[in-house]
Structure 1
Amino acid sequence: MELKNLVEQFPMFLGGSPDAPVFSTGQGLVLTLELLSISSAIGFALAVPLALARNSSNWLLSRSVWLYTGLFRGTPLLVQLFMLYYGLAQWPWIRESWAWPYLREAYGCAILAFTLNTAAYIAEILAGQIRNTPHGEVEAARSLGMNHWLLLRRIVLPSALRRALPAYSNEVIMLMHATSVASLVTLADLTGIARQIYAETYNPFEPFLIAGIFYLVLTNALAWIFRRMEKHWLAYLRPREAH
């Protein structure tokens, strides 16, 4: 390992390249953060109604969500990405739809795969916390005359979201690690840049070491952010000190 190689290769991982994929603003770190932020945000927005549907008294609705979450949690993310990237073009109605300009690009397929995958995991996390809402909270809300939807909006969902935070933080960190598979469909994220440098120099150690350092820093940064959030939102769960 040569320090000179590390210094020369490091800026390549920061992104901002004019060769960025369509719909993206950069490569390397920029692309990894884009994939993570967009997929986790849309996935969370999808997961909330899916979690409510998962706990619905409507058998068909609940089972439909169960089938979706089981499918995406039970198959590898890489297989899902390959099916979208290589398989969507096989359907004429998709090629003729408004979404095709996005789905024909590796970037769009990666966003879709990561979003659907993380939405399935988050939906089950939230659904479990909704089921575990303390009975006393529900009864107290009903005694105040709250209807079903007001109960969900004011009591059940806020409580479930707070209690789901530790598991949700793990899912976001796992998703950040999982974005590395985007390099297998030609995207130049952190792992993709490392693979490109390796292909050009035949020296795998330095580029993958730099990529690993970036992932390590991102992991610790996300963990710190979520610890701060847990300290704020879950303070009421900590035992009070005796005076």
Structure 2
Amino acid sequence: MIDANLMIENFPSFLGGGSGEAVLSTSDGLILTLELLFYSLLGGLALSIPLGLMRVSRNRLVSGAVWLYTYVFRGTPMLVQLFIIYYGLSQFEAVRESWAWTYLQEAYFCALLAFTLNTAAYTTEIIAGQIRNTHWGEIEAAKAMGMSKWLMMRRIVIPAALRRALPAYSNEVVMMLQGTSIAGLVTLADVTGVARRIYSDTYMPFEPFLMAGLIYLAFTFLFVWLFKLAEKRWLAYLAPRKH
């Protein structure tokens, strides 16, 4: 039988409020999970726009390099990527003696770096696909207006590609929300990390992980709802006409 009292008593722990051990982390639980999600999505999106343009470049060397990056990060589990960054890089003396070691010895930074590079790889392919799907009429209209290639990209192609990418990108956001659950495996007290800590204290696995699952489920519904609103706002022109 579910111990409701245990869930109620430990609910504040899931919301966060404790001090994180990493220099960049401010709290535990849900706040830490949302921090990792927000900053990784922001960094991944910032990287994916120029990488998406490079991915569709006619220069095979440039597009091939981006393809290799996206292939590696989409073809390997994010858990493996996190372990390589957090545990693997520390094996090299050159890394430990470099300026980067100040950051790479922190679990928070390593998790954020792994999540950012992972979501950037997926988002790059999403944006590159939508750039390729730009209607030829939009390109011809931009050329007729005398726009240069980069002006056309900035004003026509990229904004249109980002709008059309919303449905696919919403799935990426949800997957990244769930992917942040592995942060607890490198000592971070995110939502699943808090659940694991409660389990180790009480020896009751069902209630804390049930609470963690409900939190992820609630935020999944929230993000899906927000993206549906965004699609209605920016993709209304793609909706079928009502007779």
- Hey, what does 2:69 align to over in structure 1? 68
- Hey, what does 1:221 align to over in structure 2? 222
- Hey, what does 1:78 align to over in structure 2? 79
- Offset of 1:20 from its aligned partner? 4.7
- Hey, what does 2:207 align to over in structure 1? 206
- Offset of 1:164 from its aligned partner? 0.4
Q: Report percent identity of matched pairs.
A: 62
Q: Determine helix, strand or coil for the equivalent of 1:146.
A: coil
- Offset of 1:240 from its aligned partner? 2.9
- Offset of 1:106 from its aligned partner? 0.8
Name stretches of at least 5 consecutive residues in structure 2 with no aligned partner: none
> Are the equivalent residues in 1 in contact too, given 2:40–2:116 (CA < 8 A)?
yes
Distance 2:235 2:19 in 1: 43
1:30-179 equivalence runs, <5 A = 30-179=31-180
1:45-92 CA-partner distances (Å, limit 9, x unpaired): 000000000001111000000000000000010000000010111223
Q: Does the alignment pair 1:190 with 2:191?
A: yes
> Are the equivalent residues in 2 in contact too, given 1:42–1:115 (CA < 8 A)?
yes
Distance 2:164 2:100 in 1: 36
TM-score (norm 1): 0.97
Farther-moved stretch of structure 1 (215-224 vs 61-70): 215-224
- Offset of 1:37 from its aligned partner? 0.2
- Offset of 1:96 from its aligned partner? 2.8
- Offset of 1:191 from its aligned partner? 0.3
Distance 1:241 1:2 in 2: 51
1:153-185 CA-partner distances (Å, limit 9, x unpaired): 111101100000100010011000000011111
Distance 1:218 1:20 in 2: 25
- Offset of 1:236 from its aligned partner? 1.1
> Are the equivalent residues in 1 in contact too, given 2:20–2:26 (CA < 8 A)?
no
Distance 1:85 1:63 in 2: 27
Instruction: Give the direction of change, closer, same or farther, for the CA distance of 1:19–1:53 in structure 2 (3 Å limit).
Output: closer
TM-score (norm 2): 0.97
- Hey, what does 1:241 align to over in structure 2? 242
Name stretches of at least 5 consecutive residues in structure 1 with no aligned partner: none
The one-letter code sitting in structure 2 at the alignment partner of 1:115 is: T
Distance 1:210 1:91 in 2: 40
